[in-house]
């Protein structure tokens, strides 16, 4: 008996350690990100860094303007949502509201398998299949552009959006729908005016989580978005994201150089942006939950 | 039952740990991704002849390799560009030379450019192939990422003080640059001459084809050194490997793999 209690206590401590481990790691990462980016801001003003239009970190004189990179990231992220939200949400509505049980059992796992495709494989697909296709269709100088990146990021965000939205749609209480039918609404009206609004908090969190996935994705955009550090004004031109810049240049930069600190600076900006997305996702989810209940 | 599993797992960890330890006692060569495939070849042959030696070859990039040699994280750093003034405190050994090829799609009508024209294309002054006698198509410029040794060498040899246009497509390896140029009739890029294959075509520069003979006779201008760098004098173990690389046998591997021997 005594032994069992001791064992339980031990396990409790162990799990406490696990619970705090991820917090400690997170704090550690934040500290390192900020610490490693600080030396840059002794040389350059924060605003010049954030709003500068030229990224030439290894030239003389070097320029560290990341505005094209920030906009590049946002650009492909917005593009990916234009692809992923209609497709992902449509799939979720079909699976949850229309598909028969047997079809549902096939569809949902298949969509989730899509999430398991390594991003480098998708990137390769984008490079050898989608890029020549886009180049041909739009008569472009190159198929490696924001549109290509958006399509692939959209494909990657679909499983997140479909899976979470479907869960939320399925958990809308049966009574809501029955009440709607009882009032004479047909199936379409019930779906659009009752079920989807009732699941709206979940759906919006799903979209924002999908967005987080897209903005943080690295390998695919590095391979297919073209990588030109210019301010985007069209989906048919090459763009560069923050993640791709860090991935491509970190390996080749000397530790302790301004370029190195600037890459950490980009990481801080990226971190803050994703944090903002997550906070918004949380607030939206809470707000709508209150309204429904 | 549970306990025995745990013991087994711990044993496994110990075994893995020891195995790693053993592999760690050799020479570590890290740096330029352009040098890496050739260094792999040297290491392979060297280890065949010296079974007691272990040579680890790692990538990471020229600047990272130089930095690692400085900090002692690796024994030998490799670089595919000349050292910068603030890196000159390291001992440098030229192990091979490599031509930089300006490559285009095989269907491109252009077959010769001047260095000035190449510079014009990469700065963005020349935007259409028509301006230099080609088809009426916009030029897709493909460059390497900032910090890359190949880009550093290209910058030094062609661009000098001017910047590569921001609108250029950026790829992070010789292989992907070649892949894009091979798939795009309007593209131009630059890669290591040793890695040019039949999917792309290397242009003549100022009328001189990019061949080994022209590099040796110094007619072809885009040549960069492949360097081994060490902090201070190389240790005896490293010296032995470097001697092998510089020996007739090591240099023969260099030319077999498409580089230019130093001797």
CATH code: domain of residue A68: 1.10.3720.10
* Domain membership flag for residue A228: yes
Residue A95: alpha-carbon gap to chain centroid: 23
* Domain membership flag for residue B171: yes
pLDDT over 70 at B154, yes or no: yes
Give B144 to chain A, closest Cα distance, Å: 9
* Domain membership flag for residue B78: yes
Q: In which domain, by residue range, is A214 found? A: 46-52+64-292
* Domain membership flag for residue B24: yes
pLDDT, one tens digit per residue, over A123-177 is: 999 988 999 899 889 988 888 899 999 999 999 999 999 999 999 999 888 899 9
Confidence at residue B23, expressed as pLDDT on a 0 to 100 scale? 44
- Decide: B208 and B102 in contact? Cβ < 8 Å: no
Backbone angles phi, psi at B140, to 5 degrees: -95, 110
pLDDT over 80 at A255, yes or no: no
pLDDT band at residue A58 using 50, 70 and 90 as cut-offs = confident
Confidence at residue A290, expressed as pLDDT on a 0 to 100 scale? 61
pLDDT band at residue A38 using 50, 70 and 90 as cut-offs = very high
**C-alpha count within 13 angstroms, C-beta hemisphere, residue A281:** 19
In this prediction, what percent of chain A has a pLDDT beyond 70? Answer: 98
- B147/A56 CB distance under 8 A: no
ipTM: 0.74
Together in a domain, B193 and B239 = no
Supply the DSSP string of B94-144, one letter for each residue.
Answer: EEEEEEEEEEEETT-S--EE-HHHHHHHHHTS--BGGGGTS-S-B-EEEEE
Q: In which domain, by residue range, is B24 found? A: 2-97+225-256
Together in a domain, B80 and B114 = no
* Domain membership flag for residue B263: no
Together in a domain, B91 and B156 = no
Interface test with B, best of A141, A145, A226, A236 (most B CBs within 10 A): A141
* Domain membership flag for residue B261: no
* Domain membership flag for residue B7: yes
- Chain B residues whose C-beta is within 8 A of a chain A C-beta are 59-64, 66-67, 71, 137-140, 145-149, 152, 163, 166-172, 176, 179-180, 183-184, 186-187
Burial class (CB in 10 A: 0-12, 13-18, 19+), A181: middle
- A144/B163 CB distance under 8 A: no
* Domain membership flag for residue A29: no
**C-alpha count within 13 angstroms, C-beta hemisphere, residue B218:** 1
Residues of B in contact with A128 (CB under 8 A): 183
* Domain membership flag for residue A110: yes
pLDDT over 60 at A238, yes or no: yes
**Nearest CA among A260, A58, A69 for reference residue B147:** A58
CA distance A259 to B70: 18
Mean pLDDT of A91-117: 90
* Domain membership flag for residue A10: no
Count of CB atoms within 10 A of residue A68's CB? 24
* Domain membership flag for residue B127: yes
pLDDT over 70 at B120, yes or no: yes
pLDDT, one tens digit per residue, over B156-194 is: 899 988 999 988 999 888 888 998 899 888 999 999 888
Together in a domain, B15 and B66 = yes
Together in a domain, B103 and B208 = yes
The CA dihedral of A64, A66, A69, A73, to the nearest 10 degrees, is 150
pLDDT, one tens digit per residue, over B51-77 is: 888 999 988 788 888 888 988 888 899
Together in a domain, B130 and B73 = no
B208 is written with which tokens?
């001189």
Listed range (B9-23, B152-166, B208-222) with the worst mean pLDDT: B9-23
**Average pLDDT, whole number, for chain B?**
86
Confidence at residue B25, expressed as pLDDT on a 0 to 100 scale? 60
CATH code: domain of residue B70: 3.40.190.10
How many domains does one find in chain B?
2
A59 vs B: CB within 8 A = yes
* Domain membership flag for residue B262: no
CA distance A25 to B217: 57
How many domains does one find in chain A?
1
Together in a domain, B108 and B24 = no
């Amino acid at each position: 008996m005594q032994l069992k209690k001791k064992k339980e206590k031990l396990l409790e401590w162990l799990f406490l350690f696990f619970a705090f481990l991820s917090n400690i790691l997170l704090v550690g990462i934040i500290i390192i990100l900020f610490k490693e980016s600080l030396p840059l801001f002794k040389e350059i003003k924060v605003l010049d860094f954030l709003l500068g239009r030229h990224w030439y970190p290894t030239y003389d004189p070097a320029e560290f303007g990341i505005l094209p990179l920030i906009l590049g990231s946002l650009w492909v992220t917005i593009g990916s949502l234009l692809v992923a939200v209609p497709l992902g949400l449509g799939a979720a509505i079909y699976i949850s509201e229309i598909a028969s049980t047997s079809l549902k059992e096939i569809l949902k796992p298949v969509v989730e398998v899509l999430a398991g495709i390594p991003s480098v494989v998708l990137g390769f697909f984008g490079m050898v299949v989608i890029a020549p296709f886009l180049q041909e269709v739009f008569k472009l100088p190159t198929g490696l552009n924001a549109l290509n990146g958006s399509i692939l990021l959209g494909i990657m965000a679909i499983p997140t959006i479909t899976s979470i939205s479907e869960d939320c749609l399925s958990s809308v209480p049966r009574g809501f729908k029955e009440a709607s039918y009882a009032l004479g609404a047909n199936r379409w009206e019930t779906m659009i005016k009752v079920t989807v609004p009732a699941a709206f908090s979940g759906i919006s969190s799903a979209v924002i989580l999908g967005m987080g996935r897209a903005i943080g994705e690295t390998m695919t955009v590095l391979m297919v978005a073209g990588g030109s550090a210019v301010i985007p004004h069209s989906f048919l031109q090459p763009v560069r994201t923050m993640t791709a810049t860090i991935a491509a240049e970190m390996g080749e930069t000397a530790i302790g150089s301004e370029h190195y600190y600037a890459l950490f600076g980009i990481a801080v900006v990226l971190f803050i942006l994703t944090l903002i997305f997550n906070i918004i996702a949380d607030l939206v989810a809470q707000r709508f939950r209150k309204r429904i209940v | 039952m549970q306990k025995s599993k745990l013991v087994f797992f711990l044993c496994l960890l110990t075994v893995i740990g020891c195995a790693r330890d053993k592999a760690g006692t050799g020479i570590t060569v890290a740096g330029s991704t352009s040098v890496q495939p050739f260094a792999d070849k040297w290491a392979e042959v060297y280890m065949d002849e010296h079974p007691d030696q272990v040579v680890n070859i790692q990538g990471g990039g020229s600047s990272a390799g130089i930095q690692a040699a400085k900090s002692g994280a690796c024994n030998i750093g490799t670089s595919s560009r000349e050292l910068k003034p603030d890196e000159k405190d390291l001992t440098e050994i030229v192990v091979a030379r490599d031509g930089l090829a300006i490559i285009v799609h095989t269907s491109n009508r252009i077959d010769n450019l001047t260095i000035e024209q190449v510079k014009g294309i990469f700065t963005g002054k020349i935007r259409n192939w028509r301006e230099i006698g080609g088809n009426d198509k916009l030029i897709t410029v493909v460059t390497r990422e900032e910090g890359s040794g190949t880009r550093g060498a290209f910058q030094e040899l062609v661009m000098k003080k001017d910047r590569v246009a921001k609108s250029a497509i950026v790829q992070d390896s010789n292989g992907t640059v070649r892949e894009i140029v091979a798939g795009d009739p309007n593209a131009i890029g630059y890669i290591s001459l040793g890695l040019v294959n039949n999917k792309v075509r290397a242009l003549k520069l100022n009328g001189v084809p990019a061949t080994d003979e022209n590099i040796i006779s110094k007619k072809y201008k885009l040549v960069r050194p492949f360097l081994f760098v060490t902090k201070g004098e190389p240790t005896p173990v490293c010296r032995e490997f470097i001697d092998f690389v510089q020996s007739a046998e090591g240099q023969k591997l260099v030319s077999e793999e498409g580089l230019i021997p130093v001797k």
